[in-house]
Amino acid sequence: MKKMKIILLSTLFIALFAMNVKAHCKLEYPVGGESFKSGESITIKWKVTIAHNTDNWDLYFSSDNGANWETIKEDINVNTLSYSWTVPELNTNSAKIKIVQDNQGTDYNSVSDAFTIKTDSAPTGNKIKIPGTITGTDINLTLQNGEFEFFPGHKTATMGVNGPVLGPTLIVNKGDFLDIKVKNDLNERTTIHWHGMHVSSENDGGPHMIIEPGDTWNPKYEVKNRASTCWYHPHLDTHTDEHVSKGIAGFIIVKDDEEAGFDLPRTYGVDDIPLAVQTRSFDDNYQVEWDVNTDDVLIVNGTQNAYVDVPAQVVRFRLLDGSSQRVFNFGLEGNKDFYMIATDGGLVEKPVKLSRLPLSPGERAEILVDFTGMEGKTISLMSYASEFSNGIYGASSPGPMPGMQLNGYNPNPMNGADFKIIDFVVGQKTANPVTAIPAVLAGETPYSVNDVDDNRNITFRAKSPGMNQLNGDFYINGVSFDMDIINITIPLNNTEIWTIQNNTPIAHPFHLHDVGYYILDIDGNPPPAYAKGKKDTYLVPGRHSTMRIITKFKNFANDSIPYMYHCHMLKHEDGGMMGAFVVVDKSTATNELNSKEGLFLYPNPTRSMYVTVELQDKKERINAYSVIDESGRILSYHIVDKNEISNMYSIPVFNYEKGVYMLKVYSDNKIYSRKLVVE
């Protein structure tokens, strides 16, 4: 036994000296994360951390993450701790340097993390298209079919706005009165929604504002938004994913005097650059697929393998996650810091220093990146999806456990992996560069919880529970979207808290039309720094997580045309994960026919599509209603879903002929009868 121990100890001693032992020297530059251009001269630096009788230094280079090494220089003098090296002519994101301390037969080494090398020739990849612009108040948009080469030599059938794919950026000013004409040349019906814009419901472009083939829709509205980045896209019931995936989308940039007072980049396409980041699925014939989970092609402004030229100064990027389902975890190569200056609803109080910024479908953010001193270099905007926990579309698994999968989701090189979004190729400064990040900006004051008029609960759940539930549709408050049903009725100028509970295994981005909102908390915790500004879309985590928001429904009321609230994963939205709400003006409930003890009914007489019933006692709840004609025939009887029961409800009357009807409203312990006049 003693002899065996001696043999084992001897073997261990020999093995220790035979291996390359680390940490007796340390590489100081490069350390990893840097980006160099081929032909550039850099100084490799290292230091001694544990002194030995070193004979010399050996320096090596790998272009493939350390799989293979080639010699830079061997037998460097023991007293030398640096070496001037010319970066080789190649393109790689997996370069490494290794310094070896040759110590009389025992080698100690230090290896850098991966860094990037790019050739000094024209950038690899494809230069992105910067969308054209439309300025002024008279705006003409044409929705059209077209063809576009996402893949060289292969034409893909597309839909676009004033072109084959995407649409022009609308640049407008707060206070402008817009006259927009949207002509539909698609040969099929659609809609256009102004996502993030605070407009009346008849101008909002939701599913009810259908543009028939050949028709022109003419919304007219005043721009009430602060300076912000919004966007427009189709919103046709059950066809939103198809029309967006085929290419209909565009930016809206709102300007105002407040934003103009800050020293920010604002030269469009030069130091103020819109980036629509989307994923797509294509079939074997290079045609767009929708209602699928096989989105393995990344495009930025319609361009694969994208790059954009930027000046060596502070540059503003307007980021949009325009994907149907995928969540991105934006960050710069090498974990370089950047600054978020605006959320969906506009500027925040001061720039937020970040290294990561998650955005879900429909979300926007404005960021500043300082490229000062980086002329001639290239740095990539990445998505660090490897950092996502499961239960997010974009993580390794879309469900909380590997066995809960989406059909077609894997394999996909973007799922749960870090990947490049776009390369920023840094060139010369402009004539009047912005060279500093502002210290302060100007956010809005959130609404006070002390001013709340009502609280509402919004609950997500799967239609078909079980291990395969991600492949089915989802409910909001136990129901699917119905074009003829108003799910929530809200008094004009109400300040409300909505509690959104996600009882599904996957995170859902919650979008609210008409007004932006402020996040009070997520699972009882304050929102992250990048979500403290005004939002209109935000990702609600799955597995019974809860997000509370506060907002005020101001300026616009229409009892006939609703706004929407919904999941902005377009596949889910098309599957019915959406609800409708109207904002009603209670001041119309003034005459004797409208108002009797205990109940308001307005407008009455009505020419609207809906009438609003409101019980004066807010604690009383409307459980059902019926409409009866003059002969006593019951025309409709509707039970209100338990998740939508309140003291207010909107009743559809658009199917009734002109005449006098009897409306019966069933509350917890009363039956109200009122005469209803349809004109």
pLDDT tens digit string along 10-47?
Answer: 443 333 333 344 457 889 899 998 888 888 888 898 88
Same domain, 592 and 545: no
Same domain, 46 and 87: yes
Same domain, 594 and 619: yes
Of 575, 609, 626, the one marking the end of a domain is 575
pLDDT in tens, 349-390: 999 999 999 999 999 999 999 999 898 889 999 999 999 999
Percent of the chain at pLDDT > 70 equals 94
Q: Which of 158-167, 464-473, 628-637 has the lowest mean pLDDT?
A: 628-637
Residue numbers of the domain that contains 66: 2-118
Whether 658 maps to a domain, the answer reads yes
For every residue of 569-610, DSSP letters joined together read SHHHHHTT-EEEEEEE-GGG--STTTEETTEEEESSSB-SSE
| Strands of the 328-332 sheet, one edge to the other | 126-127, 306-311, 418-427, 378-384, 328-332, 357-359
Decide: helix, strand or coil at residue 138: strand
Q: Pick 532 or 600 by higher pLDDT.
A: 532
pTM of the model as a whole: 0.78
Query: What is the per-residue pLDDT for 591?
Result: 46
Of 118, 136, 166, the one marking the end of a domain is 118
CA angle 461, 466, 468 (to 5 degrees): 100
Whether 126 maps to a domain, the answer reads no
pLDDT in tens, 255-265: 999 999 999 99
Whether 138 maps to a domain, the answer reads no
Question: How far apart (Å, rounded) are the C-alpha atoms in residues 156 and 145?
Answer: 11
Same domain, 472 and 526: yes
CATH number for 27: 2.60.40.10
Give the gyration radius of the chain's Cα atoms.
Answer: 30
Whether 467 maps to a domain, the answer reads yes
Beta bridge partners of 598: none
Same domain, 571 and 597: no
pLDDT in tens, 294-345: 999 999 999 999 999 999 999 999 999 999 999 999 999 999 999 999 999 9
pLDDT averaged over every residue in the chain: 89
Query: What is the per-residue pLDDT for 595?
Result: 54
- The answer to whether residues 549 and 517 touch, using CB atoms and an 8 Å cutoff, is yes
Whether 544 maps to a domain, the answer reads yes
Whether 409 maps to a domain, the answer reads no
Of 118, 136, 168, the one marking the end of a domain is 118
For every residue of 486-513, DSSP letters joined together read --EEEETT-EEEEEEEE-SSS-EEEEES
Whether 90 maps to a domain, the answer reads yes
Same domain, 496 and 541: yes
Same domain, 649 and 549: no
Same domain, 611 and 539: no
Q: How many domains does the chain have?
A: 3
Same domain, 547 and 592: no
CATH number for 599: 2.60.40.3080
pLDDT in tens, 380-424: 999 999 999 999 999 999 999 888 899 999 999 999 999 999 999
CATH number for 548: 2.60.40.420
Whether 266 maps to a domain, the answer reads no
Structure-token pair, residue 565? 């609230």
